[in-house]
A and B are shown apart, each in its own frame.
Chain A
């Protein structure tokens, strides 16, 4: 037993987090910044945080993740990191030649109260920012929220740093996809394009973190949202923010500051959330839904009907980021599975309320906690076993100890390769998810069934 010290009996903990279901803000900011074309993320703090964030993103995406750091030592920690940041900006533009530097803070620079707007301004005034190049920033203290908060803060930083309202609408629609895989961003774009929309998708990590191997290394790959698009986002006719936690802040900022009206939707995981997404796109653009999309939807419904016999009543434990988990809970409940233990590490009461709504509509009450950890999730599982665990890589320890099938989903996935190439959003993503879930369940049946019951045909 790898988690042999986890007791079944649950005791309230007030101070000790065990096996967290979240990590810290800057890594989210770094991931978001990689979704701008020609952008080098910059971590303003000691180099350790930056090394950790790059390592974790690299392990998940299996792609190069470049980011610079202010490399604080004790002196900067006492006297402030202004000098470090200014020389970092100069060195970065000289050596790596990015179009954009996206600065985020770490606990260290936040705690000493470094003033990013003032520092980046100083860099600009002293001529360290070449003509036509940009420095944007986001505050990402890790003792508030989680990696999801950091992602959201940097996405808002993009809007603040670039969006311009010229007073003339450009007819385009902003879509903020939230923290999903590069393949998901691609899929969001594909669906919107099929609907005939001209969209500005930001951030967009497709082509950046699911690249090709061709003998060339580009620190700034061809993918990513172009700066011109980010500037144009201020003139869009509307913004669709996918996910309250990841995307709503930026959308609301564009709404109040640039008069771009926004709609906040769930992330389009599963049938219903994708339906709402497509329906909103239809209304925003004033178009009919094309047959191709209706057909894709029908395929997903078909698959659900074919698979329903295996899913009905199966209990699931679910852990991940709030926007993803909410949509996934709804998806699972809609196919008559029962997510009974649901945890997100990111704090926020709204999460528990939304989950309660979804599960009570399905006629039961789940164990749910925002700001929870995987130790608690494991204890819940010990008390009420499940048929399937869905969550990030770290769930494999629980899955092995309790001998439960496990679907890797969310961030991070360190121990499997290829997830960055297949979408989980939209109808297509739904097909992919359900296929993987059924595979796990039937593989288990094939393993456990007695010989006389072992069947070829289902």
Chain B
């Protein structure tokens, strides 16, 4: 179906915003108005958005909870830690193999606990009398059965309410075992306003309990950490392939296809490259403060972004051999990408997209759409903070409210023995003068066109309105949104889990994504929605044989 035929002409983004708010009770409308922004020029300033604020009761949100961010997102992709959910059975069950984190555990003797779901399955007597005893017994049983390197404990809502001291239990069992690190996360679902709080709790604990535990030298040259990459659908595999080809050694991914030892060795890297800014930027900061490892923001979503990120890394190391190798790899990889683009672009050019997902993906994927000649008309995050929209310069001005105060901040100082600046301040200054930006992220808003819509914590009602009014050619969000959007005849691509597809990162991933979007926006299925008698209901003609 030619998409231009159904495009709206008479709506301005301001109208659309007003229409989305019209039905809300006044209090709700006021709050949502501050989270919906029409991207417009304001001199040199980025417009301000309200983000990381509470979800409104009764309004059907896309968000999940703190536990999901902690256990599901951050710890989920690490294969050799036994993750025990302390709580009733549900939370553990729902976070069991549902994020499509892939892992390569094919090495001889490699441990892989990811296909397992461990829970204390609390019963009412545990809620009444306390669950510490059961937790302790569960840890013991896990240790006896599997002898893992590490056991992690995750608190669910009722655990916080009844006051189980999960950290004391963890300390006790760690001391008892001696050869198994045991640590716990106070990631009760109600702790924050979204998953983001859980990322924070997870990262802090990994940083304080695991990072730096292994001081052995790691082999390889140009060692980096890749932060905020979760290997959904094999993204991490593709990025690793490219890095390896360039001669860059990725010693730890947080936390796609990761192992305990990768976390324990992260302080041995010379650079941290941050993918998902939201879920992990503070870890990059802490690695710098404690060990002297600088960080840069990268993006491996989109072929051009991948090339740019590789060049950034090479620039940092400043090694002519590496720089040459990176250019060779880009030159080798790009022709295939360009060939596919040339084939697909005539079918995708001028089409439109909307993205509402995660805390960086709604930004990164716009690059891929741009490569196909597709325009993003509206985007926003499920659980981002203002800095993810407006850039890191707003961080000092962020309000600390009751909800953010809940999340423990850890104090990090330079490590007395191990702090070692990777570059002298002169070298850093020189790199910066040459245009390499450290610790910087400008956020989503400056990269979006004027008169597009930026919407935080989009809900089902607004999604439906947006789609009805604007009729984009593709909508990207998560599983909960997928089918209501598709009922409206708009293909929906999951960008949390990628449906059954991926990888979409790197060069190969870009090719996969082009094919996937081509398939979606040009699928014949959307033309079957009306039966012939519904399209032309009048009973006028008769057939010749009558």
Q: Which residues on A are within 8 Å of B, measured CB to CB?
A: 2-5, 7, 11, 13-20, 22-27, 42, 45-49, 51-56, 58-59, 62-77, 84-85, 87-92, 94-96, 106-108, 110-112, 141-144, 146-147, 211, 213-219, 345, 375, 394, 397, 414
User: What is the CA–CA distance of A69 and B459 in the complex, to the nearest angstrom?
Assistant: 12
Could you tell me the distance in whole angstroms from the C-beta of B476 to the nearest C-beta in chain A? 16
Question: Contacts A16-B120, A55-B479, A107-B87 hold; do A75 and B58 have CB atoms under 8 A apart?
Answer: no
Cα distance A147–B54 in the bound complex, in angstroms: 28
Within 8 Å by CB of A95, from B62, B92, B461, lies B461
Chain A proximity mask over B46-81: 1 for CB below 8 Å, otherwise 0: 000000001111111111111110000000000000
**Contacts A48-B66, A58-B479, A108-B189; is A24 near B93 (CB within 8 Å)?**
yes
Knowing A46-B189, A71-B56, A107-B156, the reply to whether A64 touches B64 (Cβ < 8 A) is no
Contact among B60, B67, B113, B158 for A48, CB-based, below 8 A: B67
Q: How far is the CA of A70 from the CA of B126 in the complex (A)?
A: 25
A413 to chain B, nearest CB (A): 13
In the complex, how many angstroms separate the beta carbon of B392 from the nearest chain A beta carbon? Answer: 26
Contacts of A142 in B (CB 8 A): 88-90
User: Which 8 pairs, one residue from A and one from B, show the smallest C-beta to C-beta distance?
Assistant: A48-B65, A24-B90, A88-B58, A91-B58, A15-B137, A88-B57, A52-B94, A64-B484
Which of A17, A74, A141 is the most central at the interface, judged by chain B CB atoms within 10 Å of its CB?
Answer: A17
Interface residues of B in 23-65 (CB under 8 A from A): 23-25, 28, 54-65
Q: B480 near A: Cβ within 8 Å? A: yes
Partner of B137, one of A16, A27, A42: A16
The residue of chain B having its C-beta at the shortest distance from the C-beta of A5 within the complex is B146
**A225 smallest CB distance to B (angstroms):** 22
Chain B residue contacts of A65, Cβ below 8 A: 480
17 examples of A-B residue contacts, CB within 8 angstroms: A16-B137, A18-B116, A18-B117, A46-B157, A48-B189, A51-B68, A52-B64, A56-B98, A62-B483, A64-B484, A71-B61, A73-B54, A76-B190, A141-B124, A142-B90, A143-B126, A215-B488
B165 CB, min distance to chain A CBs, angstroms: 17
Residues of A within 8 Å of B84, CB to CB, are 16
Beyond A4-B112, A143-B123, is A112–B161 a contact (Cβ under 8 Å)? yes
Q: How far is the CA of A326 from the CA of B60 in the complex (A)?
A: 37
Distance (Å) between the CB of A217 and the closest chain B CB? 4
Q: Which of A16, A66, A107, A143 contacts B138 (CB 8 A)?
A: A16
CA distance A215 to B190 in the complex (A): 37
Residues on A with beta carbons closer than 8 Å to the beta carbon of B57: 68-71, 84-85, 87-88, 91
Residue from the list B59, B61, B157, B529 in contact with A215, Cβ < 8 A: B529
Contact residues, B471-512 vs A (CB, 8 A): 478-480, 482-489
Q: Which residues of B have CB within 8 Å of A95? A: 23-24, 28, 58-59, 461
**Whole-angstrom distance from the CB of B537 to the nearest CB of chain A?**
14
Cβ B483 vs Cβ A58 within 8 A: yes
Residues in A with CB closer than 8 Å to B145 are 5, 7, 11, 16
Chain B contacts of A66 at CB under 8 A?
60, 460, 484
Contact A51 B480 (CB under 8 A): yes
Q: B61's contact among A11, A14, A69, A217, by CB below 8 Å, is which?
A: A69
Q: Does B317 lie at the interface of the complex (its beta carbon under 8 Å from any beta carbon of A)? A: no
Question: In whole Å, how far is A89's beta carbon from the nearest beta carbon of chain B?
Answer: 7
Measured between C-beta atoms, what is the minimum distance from B534 to chain A in Å? 8
Q: Is the CB of A54 within 8 A of B480?
A: yes
Is B329 interfacial (CB 8 A cutoff)? no
Instruction: Confirm or deny: B15 has a beta carbon within 8 angstroms of a beta carbon on chain A.
Output: no
Given A92-B58, A95-B461, 18 new contacts (CB under 8 A): A15-B140, A16-B119, A19-B117, A20-B89, A22-B89, A23-B94, A24-B91, A55-B480, A66-B60, A70-B57, A74-B406, A88-B57, A91-B24, A95-B24, A143-B126, A143-B127, A216-B488, A397-B115
Would you list which residues of chain B between 227 and 266 have a CB under 8 Å from chain A?
none
A48, B115: Cβ atoms closer than 8 Å: no
Q: Given A5, A17, A147, which contacts B121 in the complex, CB threshold below 8 Å?
A: A17
Asked if B191 is an interface residue, CB under 8 A from chain A, the answer is: yes
Q: Is B142 an interface residue (CB 8 A)?
A: yes
How many residue pairs link A and B with beta carbons under 8 A? The number is: 263
Residues of chain B within 8 A (CB-CB) of A16 are: 84, 118-120, 137-138, 141-142, 145
B464 interface residue per 8 A CB criterion: yes
Q: Report chain A residues within 8 Å CB of B485.
A: 217
| Contacting pair A49 B142 (CB below 8 A) | no
Q: Which residues of A contact B136 (CB under 8 A)?
A: 15
B66 touches A47 (CB 8 A): no
Report which B residues bind A (CB closer than 8 A).
Answer: 23-25, 28, 54-68, 84, 87-98, 111-113, 115-124, 126-127, 134-138, 140-142, 144-146, 156-158, 160-162, 189-193, 402-403, 406, 460-461, 464, 478-480, 482-489, 525, 528-530
**Chain B, residue nearest A72 (CB):** B190
User: CA of A75 to CA of B403 in the docked complex: distance in angstroms?
Assistant: 9
* Interface pair A111/B158, CB less than 8 Å apart: yes
Min CB distance A307 to B, Å, is 33
A68 touches which of B59, B480, B486 (Cβ 8 Å): B59
Docked complex Cα distance between A15 and B23 (Å): 50
Residues on B with beta carbons closer than 8 Å to the beta carbon of A62: 483
Determine how close the nearest CB of chain A comes to the CB of B152; give it in whole angstroms: 14
Distance between A327 CB and nearest chain B CB, rounded to angstroms? 24
CA distance A244 to B525 in the complex (A): 42
Q: Please give the distance in Å from A15's CB to the nearest CB on chain B.
A: 4
Q: How far is the CA of A68 from the CA of B62 in the complex (A)?
A: 10
Residues of A within 8 A of B59 (CB): 68, 71, 91, 95
The CA of A57 and the CA of B323, in the complex, are separated in Å by: 50
| Alpha-carbon gap, A82 to B402, bound state (A) | 19
A27 in contact with B112 (CB, 8 Å): no
Q: How far is the CB of B461 from chain A (nearest CB, A)?
A: 6
Contact residues in B for A217 (Cβ distance below 8 Å)? 464, 484-485, 487-488
- The minimal Cβ–Cβ distance linking B1 to chain A, given in whole angstroms, is 11
Is A108 a contact partner of B158 (Cβ separation < 8 A)?
yes
Task: Tell me if B124 and A11 are in contact (CB < 8 A).
Answer: no
**Do B529 and A213 have beta carbons less than 8 Å apart?**
yes
**In this complex, which of B24, B59, B530 has the most chain A Cβ atoms within 10 angstroms of its Cβ?**
B59
Instruction: Tell me which of B63, B118, B487, B528 has the highest count of chain A C-beta atoms within 10 A of its own C-beta.
Output: B487
A108 to chain B, nearest CB (A): 4
Which residues on B sit within 8 Å (CB–CB) of A13? 141
Q: Which residues of B contact A67 (CB under 8 A)?
A: 60
A73 to B188, CA, bound (A): 10
Inter-chain contacts of B162 with A (CB < 8 A): 111
Q: Contact: A144 with B115, CB < 8 Å?
A: no
Interface centre among B122, B193, B460, B486 (most CB of A within 10 A): B460
Rounded to whole angstroms, the CA-CA distance of A4 and B146 in the bound complex is 10
Q: Which of B58, B142, B161 has the most CB of A within 10 A?
A: B58
**What residues on A are CB-neighbors of B90 within 8 Å?**
23-27, 49, 52, 107, 142, 147
Cα of A90 to Cα of B118 in the assembled complex, Å: 39
Closest to A9 in B: B145
Q: CB distance A14 to B137 under 8 Å?
A: yes
A47 and B126 in contact, given A11-B145, A142-B89 (Cβ under 8 angstroms) = no
Interface pair B89/A94, CB less than 8 Å apart: no
Nearest CB in chain A to that of B136: its residue: A15
Does B124 lie within 8 Å of A75, measured CB to CB?
no
Please indicate the chain B residues that have their CB under 8 angstroms from the CB of A45 in the complex. 157, 189
Q: How far is the CA of A96 from the CA of B461 in the complex (A)?
A: 8
- Partner among B60, B127, B482 whose Cβ is within 8 Å of the Cβ of A58: B482
* Minimal beta-carbon separation of B245 from chain A (angstroms): 29
Assembled-state Cα–Cα distance A146/B65 (Å) = 21
A216 closest partner in B (C-beta)? B487
| With A16-B141, A216-B488: A47-B61 Cβ-Cβ less than 8 Å | yes
Please report the C-alpha to C-alpha distance between residue A25 and residue B158 in the assembled complex, in whole angstroms. Answer: 14
Q: Which residues from chain A contact B489 at a C-beta distance below 8 Å?
A: 213, 215
Cross-chain contact B124 with A90 (CB below 8 angstroms): no
A143 touches B122 (CB 8 A): yes
